[in-house]
Amino acid sequence: QVHLVEAGGGLVQPGGSLRLSCAASGTFLTITAMGWYRQAPGKQRELVAKITNGGTINYADSVKGRFTISRDNGKNTVYLQMNSLKPEDTAVYYCNADSHEPDYSGTYYDTDYWGQGTQVTVSS
């Protein structure tokens, strides 16, 4: 089991910056990738950015050049630096971790875990 705790959301004016963090605990050694998703009211949850254990990073087109994902493996923490924020970035941001772990029989399977979400509001 992996437990994810997010921090850093809040209210910011357009053009401002926020930094989100997500700390993993539990059996975090099974994690293969960590990332951030967001869900705005009335919309589906969407990928914002993801970073694998190997360092491969993917960003949504809408945040490229403005957001930066990074990971501190020593602290089991992933960060999302958000700059030049826009009102359309307003959403609940969720931390996600992909995990490859064994079941009771020792057979490995893929699963994922989610944080509780943190609200980001961009408004003047």
Q: How many CA atoms lie within 13 A of 29 on its CB side?
A: 1
Write down the pLDDT at residue 74. 81
Of residues 52, 67, 60, 64, the one with CA closest to residue 120: 67
pLDDT digits (tens, 9 = 90+) for 106-115: 898 899 999 9
Write down the pLDDT at residue 26. 84
Write down the pLDDT at residue 57. 97
Give the pair of three-digit tokens for residue 14.
């357009």
Write down the pLDDT at residue 101. 87
Partnered with residue 108 across adjacent β-strands are 102
pLDDT digits (tens, 9 = 90+) for 4-29: 999 999 999 999 999 999 999 887 67
Write down the pLDDT at residue 114. 97
Distance between CA atoms of 122 and 18, rounded to whole angstroms? 10
pLDDT digits (tens, 9 = 90+) for 58-107: 999 999 999 999 998 788 899 999 999 999 999 999 999 999 888 889 89
Write down the pLDDT at residue 71. 93
Write down the pLDDT at residue 117. 96
